[in-house]
Chains A and B, each alone.
Chain A
Amino acid sequence: MGRKLLLDKAHIENIRLYDVYRREGGYRSVEKALKTMSPDAVTEEVKKSGLRGRGGAGFPTGMKWSFLAKPEGVPRYLVVNADESEPGTFKDRYLMEFIPHLLIEGMITSSYALGSNRAYIYIRGEYAWIVDILEQAIQEAKNNGFLGKNILGSGFDCEIYVQRGAGAYICGEETALLESLEGKRGNPRIKPPFPAVKGLWDCPTVVNNVETIAAVVPIINEGGEEYAKIGIGKSTGTKLISACGNIKKQGVYEIDMTISVEEFIYSDEYCGGIANGRKLKACIPGGSSVPILPANLLLTTAKGEKRMMTYESLADGGFATGSMMGSGGFIVLDDTQCVVKHTYTLARFYRHESCGQCSPCREGTGWMEKILLNIENGKGKMSDIDLLWDIQRKIEGNTICPLGDAAAWPVAAAIRHFRDEFEWHITNADEAQRRNYGLMHYADPIHIPTTA
């Protein structure tokens, strides 16, 4: 059994309520920070922990905090990104739904470190019922003196508000989120200036993912160095993985970053293997934007090493043969699934979610969707594959925000690793309407070149 720092108490009855959460040791990090530590000392512990942003980018949290500008007399803001919308990702929802006080506690401790007296949770509009759960937790924290004025006699004031979005994946991008929180369309801003200097209402702002802020609680309770002892290398601590697709046990798992991908998929402690006695064909290990890998490259790196559930190992081989940890949205495809159709649904998603600000993304996502639908429907031409490749190359790196890259990568990786499945769809168009390509060679052992 791996260590659990976030969800270890999530199954306790009524942990959603303040009294139970407090009885189980909740809000200790707030007491420790506000009574015994300076704000900078809290940031220092987060730096020592090696915590990396859990939303997808994996940027070191302590470093992000240290960039926050602190001009005299200007308010600073902490904004929690709960706009969880990356296909395959449903971990923040789980955390907020089952153990909401963990997020509130993390926000108070983090706000103290950052000097933010007003913090917001920006939650995707569809999670409407979770707003009620969070607002109840906030009210309870306030009734018990953990929010409001002069918390625990420390002189520190803090309020937390919940803001609902209204259906826009793009608002998970931090500057689009801030635009939305200001009551505008979710069009990402040109950076610099970064939110740390000019964020919400032009004030210095830190935007962090739900899981990142929750992780501050065990870091302060146990100390940054202790937290950093869990995991391998720069992948410290625990990570929530939301596993879905064709596996036996779909759900949210907290892993310490020491297990292999194979163990995660096949162990009964986690996914429990592939559902219905089928075989593993492919997997997107970190949310729909990261490269899809065939079974063989998923379980073993191109160097022949066992692939681990860490930031470094999942990315081993770069985009040529690796993928990314991303948001931890783990999507598994069995041997009855069609990579072309799956890629089409993702292309449709990105076309739907493009904000329309940059031409390469606005136009390119539409073209990719149309071409993929043609191939899926047996109307594709062989030149379409190269055309898709050309379009995704022209989107990547040519947009204001990373949505362009996020839309390009899934198409690129699908062609890179499953080109023959695309070709088969085109050369055997009629047959492709009746059956799927199947597993073919995608789980075969990889040829590892040996050097003399």
Chain B
Amino acid sequence: MSVQFSEKSLQEVQRIISFYPDGKQKSAVLPVLHLAQQEFGGWLSTETMDYVASLLKLAPIEVYEVATFYSMYNLKPVGKYMFEVCQTGPCMLNGSDDIVKYIYDKLGIKPGETSADGLFTLKTVECLGACGYAPMMQMGKYYREHLTKEKVDAIINECRNEAVAIKN
């Protein structure tokens, strides 16, 4: 099997399993899927989900049904950087539509699409609990808030520079 966690991640899996009483390791499926998504390219392939099932001694279906329910799990490949722009009421009142449109103007991607260079994916999401700091988006682990066109430009440059730095 080509999918295999690093030693460090395997230790993290053990730490997560220790959160629950004996025999309740099924509870670890959500956190371990997060870990797998992070380690295996930002999305969950069937192979990855099967691997998580075997680690937690679950039937594969128990992992699939979870992975397909929660919106944070990506079931197909995504760009290296994912812009998850909130568009619910309070963000809309503060101009989230303009941010989505501006990202399209800059990168030529609509919600659900990935740029040709594989660097960026745009996703519109529902309320992320940052209503007082709107408009906003999630990028990886952190929130980017009080977005303006200038801030979006800066974030795109930051990502491009980082991608170049990693390449070299």
Which of A15-23, A85-93, A107-115, A220-228 touches B? A85-93
Question: If the complex has contacts A161-B19, A345-B92, are A183 and B133 also in contact, measured as CB distance less than 8 A?
Answer: no
Residue in A closest to B92 when the chains form the complex, CB atoms: A345
Does A126 reach chain B (CB closer than 8 Å)? yes
The one of A124, A163, A346 that contacts B89, using a Cβ cutoff of 8 Å: A346
Q: Is the CB of B132 within 8 A of A168?
A: no
A90 touches B129 (CB 8 A): yes
Interface band, chain A: 35 or more
Within 8 A of A (CB), among B109-143: 125-134, 138, 141-142
* A55, CB-defined interface residue at 8 Å: no
Question: B1-9, B20-28, B149-157: which one contacts chain A?
Answer: B20-28
Which partner residue on chain A sits nearest B32 by CB separation?
A183
> Are A183 and B28 closer than 8 Å at their CB atoms?
yes
Q: What is the 8 Å Cβ interface bit string for chain B, positions 7-36, against chain A (1 contact, 0 not)? A: 000000000000101001011111101100
Instruction: Pick from A125, A163, A242: contact of B70, CB below 8 A.
Output: A125
Nearest Cβ distance between residue B89 and chain A, in whole angstroms?
5
> What A residues does B134 contact at CB under 8 A?
244, 250
A243 within 8 A of B: yes
List, in ascending order, chain A residues with CB within 8 A of B21's CB.
75, 118, 201
Report yes or no: B93 in contact with A342, Cβ–Cβ below 8 A: yes
- Given contacts A88-B89, A337-B93, are A167 and B19 in contact (CB under 8 A)? no
Q: Does A184 count as interface, using CB distance less than 8 angstroms?
A: yes
B131 engages A90 (CB within 8 Å): yes
- Flag if B131 contacts A87 (CB, 8 Å): yes
Does B71 sit at the interface, judged by CB under 8 A?
A: yes
Residues of B contacting A341 with CB < 8 Å? 92
Shortest distance in angstroms between A166's beta carbon and chain B's nearest beta carbon? 4
Distance in angstroms between the alpha carbons of A89 and B130 in the assembled complex: 8
Which residues does chain B contribute within 8 Å of A125, judged by CB atoms? 30, 34, 70, 72
**Are B88 and A186 touching (Cβ within 8 A)?**
no
- Interface assignment of A372: CB less than 8 Å from any CB of chain B: no
Nearest CB of A to B95, in Å: 11
Interface pair B127/A164, CB less than 8 Å apart: no
Question: Does A42 have its Cβ within 8 Å of any Cβ on chain B?
Answer: no
- CA–CA, A160 and B154, complex, Å: 39
Contact with B along A227-262 (1 / 0, CB 8 A): 000000000000000111110001110000000000
A250 to B92, Cβ gap below 8 A?
Answer: no
Give the distance to chain A from B134, nearest Cβ to Cβ, in Å: 7
Residue of A nearest to B138 (CB): A126
B48 at the interface (CB under 8 A from A): no
Q: Indicate with 1 or 0, residue by residue over A121-162, a CB within 8 angstroms of chain B CB atoms.
A: 000111111000000000000000000000000000000010
Q: Tell me, rounded to whole Å, the shortest Cβ–Cβ distance linking B29 to chain A.
A: 4
Measured between beta carbons, the chain B residues less than 8 angstroms from A164 are: 30-31, 34
Interface residues on B, range: 35 or more
Task: Please give, as numbers and ranges, the residues of chain A lying within 8 Å of B29 by CB-CB distance.
Answer: 183
A84 at the interface (CB under 8 A from B): yes
Partner of B93, one of A90, A185, A252, A333: A333
Which of chain A's residues have a CB closer than 8 A to the CB of B126? 87, 169, 348-349, 352-353
Give chain B residues whose Cβ lies under 8 Å from the Cβ of A242: 131-132
What 1/0 mask marks residues of chain A from 327 to 352 whose CB sits below 8 Å from any chain B CB? 00101010001000110011011001
Interface contact B27-A84, CB-CB below 8 Å: no
- Using CB atoms, name the residue of chain A closest to B70: A166
For residue A77, which residue of chain B has the nearest CB?
Answer: B21
Residues of A within 8 A of B71 (CB): 166-168, 352
Nearest CB on A from B23, distance (A): 9
Q: Which of A118, A126, A201, A288 has the most CB of B within 10 A?
A: A126
Q: Are B89 and A331 in contact (CB under 8 A)?
A: yes
A252 in contact with B129 (CB, 8 Å)? no
A85 touches B69 (CB 8 A): no
Chain A hits for B88, CB < 8 A: 87, 288, 345-346, 348-349
Q: Judge whether B70 and A342 touch: CB under 8 Å.
A: no
A278–chain B nearest beta-carbon distance, Å: 11
Q: Is A180 located at the chain interface by the 8 A CB criterion?
A: yes
Q: Is the CB of B132 within 8 A of A169?
A: no
Q: Distance in Å from the Cβ of B85 to the closest Cβ of chain A?
A: 13
B131 touches which of A168, A201, A244, A355 (Cβ 8 Å): A244
5 shortest A-B CB distances, which residue pairs?
A166-B70, A167-B71, A167-B72, A250-B132, A183-B26
Chain B interface residues (CB < 8 Å from chain A): 19, 21, 24, 26-31, 33-34, 62, 65-66, 69-73, 87-90, 92-94, 125-134, 138, 141-142
B-contacting residues of A (Cβ < 8 Å)?
Answer: 75, 84-90, 93, 118, 120, 124-129, 161, 163-169, 180-186, 201, 242-246, 250-252, 284, 288, 329, 331, 333, 337, 341-342, 345-346, 348-349, 352-353, 355
28 residue pairs bridging A and B, Cβ less than 8 Å apart: A84-B129, A86-B127, A87-B88, A88-B127, A90-B129, A93-B130, A125-B70, A161-B19, A165-B30, A166-B34, A168-B71, A186-B69, A243-B132, A244-B94, A244-B131, A245-B93, A250-B134, A251-B132, A252-B132, A288-B88, A329-B131, A331-B89, A331-B90, A331-B93, A345-B88, A345-B89, A345-B92, A349-B89
